[in-house]
Chain A
Amino acid sequence: MSAGFALLAREVRLAWREGGAIGVALGFYLIVVVITPLGLGPDLNLLARIAPGILWVGLLLAALLSAGRIFDNDYEDGTLDVLATGPLPLPVVAGLKCLAHWLTTGIPLVLLAPILGLLLNLPMGTFPSLMLAMLAGTPAVSFVAGIGASLTLGLRRSGLLLALLVVPLYVPILIFGVSAVTPYVSGPNSIWPPFFILCALSLASVVLAPLAAAAALRTALR
C-alpha cells in the first residue's frame, strides 16, 4: 500500500516539476479549440451547437499528445525495469501510472474545458453537465491511452502510432461524452443515461486496461 502511494506521489511530483508536460497539453487543447472557429467562421449559433464535440475531440487529442509520457521516460532510464522487479505487481504499477496521468493531465484539461466553452458560446445551462461528463469519462481516456503507450514503448514514431491505435478505441467515450452535454436533467434526452455509461466505461477500463498494459510492458521489457 505504501509502495503504491509512494509511486503515485512520485509520478505526480515528476509531472508537476517537469514543467512543460502539463502546460503543453493545455496549450495544445487551447490551440485546437481556437483554430476551429477560424476554420468554420464566427457564427455563434453554429459554434454553440458543435461546441461539445469540439471540446471533447480537443480533449482526446490533447490527452493523446501527453500519453507517451506515461511510460517513456521510465523505460528509457531503466526505472521501469526496477519497478517491474519491485514489490508491486506490474498491473498495479501500470494502473498507478495511468491514474497519475489522469490526475496531472485529465483533470487540468477538464478544468480548462469550461473556459474554452465560453469561447465557443457553449450555453451556460450545459456547463455542469460538461464538467460531470468529462470527469466521468477522462479516467477511461487516460487508462486506454496507457494501453497504447505501453504497446508503442520504445518504437520509432511512437506518438503517431499511438494515436492510430488508440483513437478508434475512443469512439464510445466521444459519443457518450458528447451526448451527456445537455441542459436536461430528466426526460429522454437527460444527461443521466450517457453519464452512467461513461462511468461504466471508466470503471471497466480502470480494471481491464492495467492488465493489458502490464502484458504489453512485459513484451517490451523482455
Chain B
Amino acid sequence: MISLANPTRFLSLVDRVVPWLSALVVIVLGIGLYLSLFVAPPDYQQGETVKIMFVHVPSAWLGMFGYMLIAIAALGTLIWRHPLADVAAKTAAPIGATFTFIALVTGSLWGKPMWGTYWVWDARLTSMLILLLLYLGLIALWQAIDEPGRAGRAAAILGLVGAINIPIIKFSVDWWNTLHQPESIFRMGGPTIDPSLLTPLFVMAAGFTALFVLLHLIAMRAEILRRRVHALQQTQVERAALAEA
C-alpha cells in the first residue's frame, strides 16, 4: 500500500494490469453468460425469468461492495492521508451507484412478472434505493467542492457517516416491511438454491467483481491524469500571468 502512494508507480502498475484484467473479464463473463443463458435450467416456478438473477444478484453485491470500498478509502483519507485514497473513493462512487442502479432496474424487471408490479416498497428494494441516494449524495458533494483536498476529506466524512448508518437503515427498513425472499445463498445450513443455478451465479459474480476492479482501476488512472492536466494548466496560467506582469 505504501509503495503505491507514488501515483507514477501506481499508474505503471495499472498500465501493466489492465490488459490482463480485461482479458480475464471477457473470458469469465463469457463463460458466465454462456452458463447462465444456455446451460442453467429454467426454474420450475419462475421459468426463464430466473436468469435475470444472474445479473441482478452480482450487481446488488457490488453495489454494497462499492460503498464498503468507499468507507475503507475514507479511513485511508482521514487516518493515513494516503494520496490515492480519495482518488479511489471518488471514482468508486459512480461505479457503485451504477451497479446499484442495475440491481434496482433488473429487480423491477423481474418483479413485474413475479409480483405483478415493477416496484414494491419491500425492505430490501427500499434499502438498495436508499443506498443509491447515499451514492448520489456523495457524488453531489464531490461535484460541489472545487478544491480536491477539501472535497476528499468532506466526502470521506460523509462516507463514514453513511457507512455507520447503513446497518441502522437496513434494520429500520426491515422492521418497516418485508416481502423480498429471504437470503438464500449465505445462510445457516447451506444455500437453498439448486447447484445447477448456483454455479453460473458464482461465475457471474466473479466476472462482475473483476469488471468492477477493472473499471475502478481505469477510472482511477483517468482521475490521476485529470488532476495532472489540471495542475499543468494552472501553472501555465500562472506563468502567463507572470510574463505579462
Contact = CB atoms under 8 A, between A and B. Distances in A.
Contact of A215 (B78, B133, B136, B169): B78
14 contacts: A151-B141, A156-B144, A161-B141, A165-B141, A168-B137, A169-B162, A171-B130, A172-B169, A172-B172, A175-B172, A176-B172, A215-B78, A215-B153, A219-B149
Most chain B CB inside 10 Å of its own CB: which residue of A158, A167, A171, A201: A171
Interface in B152-179: 153-154, 157-158, 160-162, 164-165, 168-169, 171-173, 175-176
Interface in B96-118: none
Contact of B145 (A155, A167, A169, A215): A155
B71 interface: no
B95 interface: no
A112 interface: no
Interface residues of A, number: 27
Interface string A157-179: 11001001101110110011001
B161 A212 contact: yes
B239 interface: no
A175 B173 contact: yes
B229 interface: no
Interface size class of B (residues with CB under 8 A): 20 to 34
B157, B164, B165, B173: residue with the most chain A Cβ atoms closer than 10 Å: B157
Contacts of B133: 164, 167-168
B169 A216 contact: no
B142 to A, nearest CB: 11
Interface string A10-31: 0000000000000000000000
Given A151-B158, A164-B136, 8 more contacts: A151-B141, A157-B144, A168-B162, A172-B168, A172-B169, A179-B175, A179-B176, A220-B154
A45 B168 CA distance: 32
A167 B137 CA distance: 10
Contacts of A212: 157, 160-161
A215 B154 CA distance: 8
Interface of B: 78, 130, 133-134, 136-137, 140-141, 144-145, 149-150, 153-154, 157-158, 160-162, 164-165, 168-169, 171-173, 175-176
Contacts of A172: 165, 168-169, 171-172
Contacts of A203: none
A100 interface: no
Contacts of A175: 172-173, 175-176
Contact of B173 (A155, A157, A171, A179): A171
Interface in A165-216: 165, 167-169, 171-172, 175-176, 179, 197, 201, 208, 212, 215-216
Contacts of A215: 78, 153, 157
Nearest to A148: B158
B144 A161 contact: yes
Contacts of A208: 164
Contacts of A216: 153-154, 157
B153 A168 contact: no
Contact of B154 (A151, A156, A157, A168): A151
Contact of B140 (A164, A179, A197): A164
A176 to B, nearest CB: 6
B161 A155 contact: no
A201 B136 CA distance: 24
Contacts of A156: 144
A147 interface: yes
Nearest to A166: B137
Contact of A201 (B145, B150, B162, B168): B168
